[in-house]
Structure 1
Amino acid sequence: MTQDFSGSLTPPFSPYLPDLLVDETCRAPRFSCAPTSCSGNGNTFSSSSYLSSGSLKRLLLRLDPSPTDYESDTVEIFDFPWVAETALVESTDLLFGLFRQKLDILENLCQPLSLDPGQLSNIHIEAEEIRSQCVQFLHYVKVFIYRFLDPPQKMDTIPVHPYEELEAQLPSKLIEELHGLRLYLGHLCELPNNIQAALQLQHHGKVLPASWHLLHLHFDVHWSILEILQILGDKMQGQIVYAHEYINLIGENLTNVSLIEELCEDLLCDLIYYAANRYAQVRPSEALNDQIYHCICVKEMWILLLQLLDHRSKGSSSESFWIRVNKLLKSLNQGSNSMESHRISKTVQCKDPLGLSWWLIAHLSPLYTFDRNGNREEAVQISSNWKFIEDLLKKSSDAQNGVREDELRMHLQCCLSLCDIWESNLTAGTILWEYFSKNLNSSFTIRWLGLQTLACVSKSPCSMLEVVRSCCTDKPSLDLYKSDNSYLIFLRILARLMKKDKESRGAHPWKQIKGRIYSKFHQKKMQELTEVGLQHFFILFLLLAIVADTEDVASRVIDLLQFLVPGHLSTSQRALLWRGNFAFLLIYVEKNMDISALAEKLSHSFRETAKEFLVTKGDFGQKHTLWTLLSTYVDGVQEVFETSHNLQLSEEKLLNDGFSMMLPACRESELCSVLNFLQTAVARLRLKCQL
């Protein structure tokens, strides 16, 4: 392990050589959210960030970390000049000791003191200089490994130079030093509150507190350790590096591979911890509007980890980004009660881990649109995570979990946002259908929001169809939480998945999913539907008629409605049945399909009702009930005639002698509305005949 640092600041192996040029021009990449660091080229991240500077891209392409720097004979590290090609080999302990000493100084600057503005400015300058020196040193380590460390060679019996012996031990020693540095720093989530508060610093001035510099230095160090380990692994050509002294002392295995895996997991835990703290302040209605990042540097760290983990998973057995995130979120949802609970379940305190999981996945997935330089790419294939989402959907729709309507809306809104950027997955739709098919009679309302959409039954075929069209649109809406209930959001998801599946595979997905939908409706189910349930029934099948096979769906609806017993239906239910049928007629007309089959059945029902209206005398309550139905029919026929362009789709079959039966029994106000409609309808039919 690392030897005790004596405190001497004299570099013993790399003396100052006055005739050699010292390289002081290098500016290493770093995390920064200060406004003065903005790149100004439209990039979200600072020009000196690991993304915008090209540092990540060079890392993954195995290129020189800093091709234009460290070209002179010496380099200045911690205010001392060192021989660039030998310093890390000869003075490993000393350099890392100086590094830790600088960290201690910066931590001391963060102590809360009552200082005047002049002292605050001096502290800012000193803290910035310390951070710059620390970042510069870690950058030098990366460059040294890439340029000056020789690949592993077989050691033979020929005596070697002492420097070569030290150089051969450097990879093992670096693993020990980096592991020690990781333990020295601890987890990001364990930093004192006054340090973590710097993440939420809203107004960045020219003078930043020392806590801001220290926090961002922690970010720099954690990521730089990963970079160093990645470069070292590439340099060793796949050969595993063991920390021999650590293993001999502690008795546990420590390698470059195990260290990078552990550090990646620790960083993900820390980032989820930060997200959980932010989620605690997010209202469900604002879930998609509020980001999971307190600071742009946290967002950059997420992207860096995403890119690195997916890159490593392609060439080895290392787990991808989604697999790692899924494991952590599963552990978080299981809680800390199980014997094998993960550290994250003890670190992250969250009252709603299911909602946090949805929120995280919905916000992390768009990070795949950023390339290795931090630029957003619009047309890019985003790696999906449907398997985990299917598990979340089962949890969200499980009645035993007691998910409330307001929570379910947020979950489904997150799911809908994922449907927009991932490939289609019809299994997600069928999982949700299993839940909603059992709850069709529910109003899906939130008490404090009042009645919403489907809780108020559509008053006309057009308004019913308008609800369906809104579910079929691809236009994103961030206000769905208040405008749509969970059932409507489910229908949006279903429509999006079916349309996307058809576009990507060519074959229509209708054959795969219609059996699951049709099988839920049988005689008992249909007769149990309330008025709200019938509304849900029609909205579902109208949506299917638009995105799938219109004739097949309409035919199925006619068959299912045969299960209903008219005598057991309320007036409002009967009126809703007619409005639903007229909504189907409107779809037929819009698709230029002949409506004769549907029109004949509907007009027959109208004729029978008109006959009953004619013979009913004295019972004003019954006449009012019948007029409600008849006026629904008249309004529906009028909407069909107004929608049709040329009345060549058998629209005239909606007109029969039922009108002549009802006219004698109408009151004056009722008679006026019917005659006005008939006058308009006949005029259009005459115009059709003339053409």
Structure 2
Amino acid sequence: RIYSKFHRKRMQELTEVGLHNFFNLFLMLAIVVETEDIVNRVLDLLDFLTPSSITTSRRALIWRGHFAFLLIYVEKNMDISALAEKISNAFREKAKEFLVTKNDYTQRQNLWTLLSTYIDGVQEVFETSCYLSLSEEKLLNDGFTMLLPACRGAELSMVLNFLQVVLARLRSVHERVSQQLQLGNTAPDTQLPLVAKEHHLAVASALWRNFFPYLKSQRMSQTPPSPQLADTAAGFTLLALDIPSKALSDLQPQPVLSMMRLFGWDDMVWPQLVSRYLSHLIQNSSLCEAFSTMGYTSYEALTVRSWFRCVLQMFLDQPSGAVAKTDAERTVGKAYMEQLTEMTRLIFKLSEVENILLKANVGQSVFKQDPKNALVQFIKAIGRTYSGLQTLPEKSAMVAKTLEYLGDVLKYIKPYLKAKGPPEGLQLTYWIIGCLVKFCAPILATSKAQQLLFRIVDCLLLPHSVLQQDKELPVALLSAIQESLPLYLQGLSFICCQSQTQGAYLNQLLGSIIRHYFGRFLPSSPTAAGAGQHPLLTALGSSITAPQLLRLRKTTMHVVRENYLQFKGQAPPPRLASVLAFILEVLQRTQSTELCDIELVLPAVLKCLVLVNELQVKKISTDIVQYMVEGCQAGSGGEHATQLTSVFRQFIQEYTAVYDHRVFSILEAVAVLDQTLVTSLIPTITQSLKDSERKQGLGRNAAQREAYKRLLSHLAEAGQNEIEKLENETD
């Protein structure tokens, strides 16, 4: 009787409210009477509707009605196959329309109303179904392969949220059913778990087939993908762990490993995606167990490598210029920092990392710092752990492990170097890699790791742009180098002392770096701002006389002498006062005089005193001579005194003939500091005087001898004796 009320004409005349009441009536009947029969009749009646007359809101109502019937099926534990196919076919058609409707905003809105109705309905079915054993997979058809690429912003967000719910629900139900099967259920519905498992395989297969290809295609998107993409990828990874057989063929035979390679360990994937993805999985015991069972030992090392990259690339998506950041950019940056902090906390719980920190006596509190500092602490811990190892096999294994942690570290920082920004990215790059060179110097000194060291120097310290001395470097790059250069210099000096095979080449490399940057950071005059900020001063400004610091000092003084203290005839080199001020500050900061200072720069400083009249140059040169003479006097040992005497002897022999008054004046000043030194030089001075007179061929030079006597008068008894000898000489 009820059916007879709804003929074709009546159905076509139904208003939206009437249609709503129509569904309410038949839903009530479906609950109490023969459900399948009622649903079939309703579908027949709905076929009376003219498709062209169905508005979007009415179609959405019809779809909601379909899902209401589906939920009755689910509650009655009936197979939904036929009804699911009908509604999912309609969904496929609308998804296809949505894909081709690019620019018609109204049409997109109308279609999205329907598509979102479908998504909500499917989600409710999955959340309601107790065992997912009623052909729910029919609802996950290939319409989604057309829908996903067409989605934007909030639309995509909704689909990915839905997908996460379905993935989580499938895994949860599958686990429960698997446990029942393991327990050997003897209840009347003992076949149910087996049937359910078959359907679970079908659902998993539909998810992989219709959703995963889109997910995979978004790994390399032009802009950082949404966090949901990482969450969903993690869900698929765990699904691959639970139901490996249904993962796509290109992920087989070890889909979990393939997923980690795609989303967790690939250097080309956005760090935002990687950090969030891995944070879901790092502490998953089942996953760790799976890798252990596979015998895949690099799981932790590759995860640490990804963390290295995520920290280094934290400024990757920021503009290179000094453009003010928008609020949205700041929010993204803050969210990523929070994500990195969480990832860092989890990384520090990995057994390999814990082991290194333990051996290096680093407390677990380090992960509470920001990720940048935590990474530096870890780098220091690696270096300290290596230095504590005793046997060659242990050391070799540690070098290999460190290189595995680093991966192609220069590839991670290349975007900053190419774009020459942003400034924060360059600062971070130079600082982190500088810490690596300094604190892991013993590792980089090994033959296995030396190639990486050479590449670091080529890319960061001696790229083509730096080698062109006349070319200005970008301010941000120069600033980053200035702050971090001491780390590189100290590390390289250590490596120069350690390396057995490449010692000469490494020394040459160290010299090249010093030569290129000494001049770049040297102020035009000693009073210029920032004179005290020279990175070489920072590197040398330590009172430790460790072999590597001596090596650095010797190389620096050699470079300074050869490139910055060379006169062209009588003309002094450019920025001479600044060069001398640098030497003086090294002596003052280290409060020591080394053999290399006396041997390499004292002759040039004495030459400046003789040939240059500029007051500032004279003043600084005098201070340097004073520092060196006093340094040797303060018990630096016989070797220093011998070298000092040798330099002064050579100075006297070279300049007395032409610049006698200046030479004697300098020696007078030195005599005040160290009378013994000048006294020991009397024979050399006398001989030089006589040689000069002989060359002139004019007999005794009265003025020269008078000046010499003035000097001798300051030299106590030995001076007096020499004066008498000179006066008593017969021609």
The structure carrying a bigger helix percent of its residues is 2
TM over 0.5: no
Larger Cα-atom Rg:
2
TM superposition score category, shorter chain reference: 0.3 to 0.5
